Amino acid sequence: MGTRNPFDPPEVRSRRRGGRVKPPLSRDAIVTTALELLRREGPEGMSLRKVAAALETGAASLYVYVSDLRELQALVLDRALGSVDVRGAPKASWRMRLKTLLSSYLKVLDGTPGLAQLALATVAAGPNALRILETVMGLLDEGGIDRATAAWGYDLFMLYITAIAAEHGNQLNPGDDAGHVARVIRGVSPKRYPHVHAAQRELLSGPSERRVAWALDVLLRGILPPSEWSEVKPRPVRNAPASAIARRGGLKV
Amino acid sequence: MGTRNPFDPPEVRSRRRGGRVKPPLSRDAIVTTALELLRREGPEGMSLRKVAAALETGAASLYVYVSDLRELQALVLDRALGSVDVRGAPKASWRMRLKTLLSSYLKVLDGTPGLAQLALATVAAGPNALRILETVMGLLDEGGIDRATAAWGYDLFMLYITAIAAEHGNQLNPGDDAGHVARVIRGVSPKRYPHVHAAQRELLSGPSERRVAWALDVLLRGILPPSEWSEVKPRPVRNAPASAIARRGGLKV
DNA sequence: ACCTGAACACCGTTCAAGT
DNA sequence: ACCTGAACACCGTTCAAGT
């Protein structure tokens, strides 16, 4: 029959009865505390040992409910994806609802420290990931996009957003890593790297929300059948970076 | 002034003279053996301890030349990016040269085990990364794309390709993780997930090269000024998945 | 100034032994 | 059947001591 689906409920029951002192162990409790630790302490906080400690056990005890660190990570990711808003305003156009869903996804990733990195490292195939996939496929179908294009387009959307969030998440952890890149780009030799030098300000600009909105337009324009091209506003960037960089204080650093 | 650029040459000289038995330590030698280890043994092979062992020292010795594991990773990434082909056929169109560069980048990432994941976790700002950035900005400029769009477009290209490679790389490591996703998608309930069910084959299809080529067309169409739209072939997917899935053996697993 | 061994504070995972 | 402490084989990083 093949391997057990890790998202199925386990056939195990805790023996910690009389939950006076210790609440009974369960896969659900493990995932909950793991996500809690991730939120509070970032990716280093979500070790098996620390999750176990928070649950007042040894790490070995977790292996009854979870086969692996990887599996725990997959479960935590899917649990977190549960708060992605897949509904949107029901009267809105499919494109608006897609935009809502994708920025909700971005917000969820941005909301807890190591989640974006986790999403890149883990292949999400839990019920909540499926719910997102199903919704996006439905919206693209509504938009008249054929299945094959929609399937690849889904990946394009999600990978890009996840990568944006991961890149953004990296910058916060080591204090000044973003500053480092900015310094390099700003200090680049105009002779050797003329185009980079000329586009300094544009390269350093843009909060992730804006960039995702822009990318969504680009991708939709690339994906939509020609008959609908006129519906997408054509040149979404148009000076956006200049204001964006100002907001970020990029010129002052 | 600020912090030292980690890509600058160090002001340190090795004291292991008389390289009869041990060759002198150097930042360059460290990066070289680290990349070698990454290629041979994958990401777990590139620990500071293992790099040190390969160089016949203790891990502590490396800290003279490298401030951090993160810095070593950044250096290794940039070293690896040195073999990306940024030149292409000189007589080819800018779009062809861009395609060549991007698939060379993909090939480099696919060529060594943990590199794509490393590229997602590290912000690449070494000379080779700059060389790639400079070239792409130049090509997009040649294509009449304004600087702001080019800057964000660069990110869109590179992040997507890196993410594709990382996703692809994940599948190989734990043996059958791709198989797991495939199983889930194939076993999905047609009632709860009608669109996923209908698009099963399309979702599971596609070797990364094809998908990158397709994505490049989508992105260019999204980015180019309307006057050039006609130059990009309009519907690049067109049955690709069906043949792709067969090649991958996706239906048999 | 480089180089080093030992120590510190962690990991994930396994296993024999408990209930 | 669950649960556990101890052990195993690793990590990155620091530090005092060597040359």
pLDDT band with cut points at 50, 70 and 90 for residue B121: confident
Q: Is the pLDDT of residue B231 over 90?
A: no
Handedness of CA B70, B76, B81, B82 (dihedral sign): positive
Q: Which of A17-26, B89-98, B150-159, B189-198 has the lowest mean pLDDT?
A: A17-26
CB within 8 Å of chain B, chain A residues 108-167: 117, 120-123, 125, 130, 133-134, 137-138, 141, 146-156, 159-160, 162-164, 166-167
Q: Is the pLDDT of residue B3 over 70?
A: no
Q: Is the pLDDT of residue B252 over 60?
A: no
* B203/A134 Cβ within 8 A: no
Per-residue flag: B64 CB under 7 A of strand D:
no
Q: Which nucleotides of C are covered by protein (CB under 7 A)?
A: 1-7, 10-16
pLDDT band with cut points at 50, 70 and 90 for residue B46: very high
pLDDT band with cut points at 50, 70 and 90 for residue A171: low
Q: Is the pLDDT of residue B18 over 80?
A: no
Looking at per-residue pLDDT, the higher value among A164 and B124 belongs to A164
Residue showing tokens 């890509």 = B7
- Highest mean pLDDT among A173-177, B211-215, B218-222 belongs to B218-222
Q: What is the pLDDT of residue A236?
A: 44
* B178/A123 Cβ within 8 A: yes
Residue nearest to nucleotide C15 (CA to C1'): A60
Residue nearest to nucleotide D15 (CA to C1'): B60
Contact status, residue A202 vs residue B153, Cβ threshold 8 Å: no
| Cα–Cα distance measured from residue A8 to residue A28, given in angstroms and rounded to the nearest whole number | 11
Per-residue flag: A174 CB under 7 A of strand D:
no
Distance in Å from D9's C1' to B45's CA comes to 14
Q: What is the pLDDT of residue B240?
A: 41
Q: Which two tokens mark A221? A: 């324009």
Q: Which two tokens mark B9? A: 């040459």
| Cα–Cα distance measured from residue A206 to residue A240, given in angstroms and rounded to the nearest whole number | 8
Contact residues, chain B, for A174 at CB < 8 Å: 70
Mean pLDDT score, A55-66 = 94
Q: What is the pLDDT of residue B178?
A: 61
Q: Which of A173-177, A182-186, B63-67 has the lowest mean pLDDT?
A: A173-177
pLDDT band with cut points at 50, 70 and 90 for residue A204: confident
pLDDT band with cut points at 50, 70 and 90 for residue A127: very high
Q: What is the pLDDT of residue B29?
A: 95
Q: Which of B30-34, B203-207, B238-242 has the lowest mean pLDDT?
A: B238-242
> Rounded to two decimals, what is the model's pTM?
0.84
| Cα–Cα distance measured from residue A214 to residue A199, given in angstroms and rounded to the nearest whole number | 18
Looking at per-residue pLDDT, the higher value among B207 and B140 belongs to B140
Q: What is the pLDDT of residue A176?
A: 47
Looking at per-residue pLDDT, the higher value among B18 and A95 belongs to A95
Q: Is the pLDDT of residue A86 over 70?
A: yes
Q: What is the pLDDT of residue B207?
A: 75
Nucleotide nearest to A58 (CA to C1'): D4
- How many angstroms separate the Cα of B41 from the Cα of each of A35, A176, B44, B113, B173? 31, 31, 7, 8, 11
pLDDT band with cut points at 50, 70 and 90 for residue A17: very low
Q: What is the pLDDT of residue B190?
A: 97
Mean pLDDT score, A29-42 = 96
Between the two ends of chain A, the Cα-to-Cα distance in Å is 59
Q: What is the pLDDT of residue B197?
A: 96
| Cα–Cα distance measured from residue B241 to residue A129, given in angstroms and rounded to the nearest whole number | 22
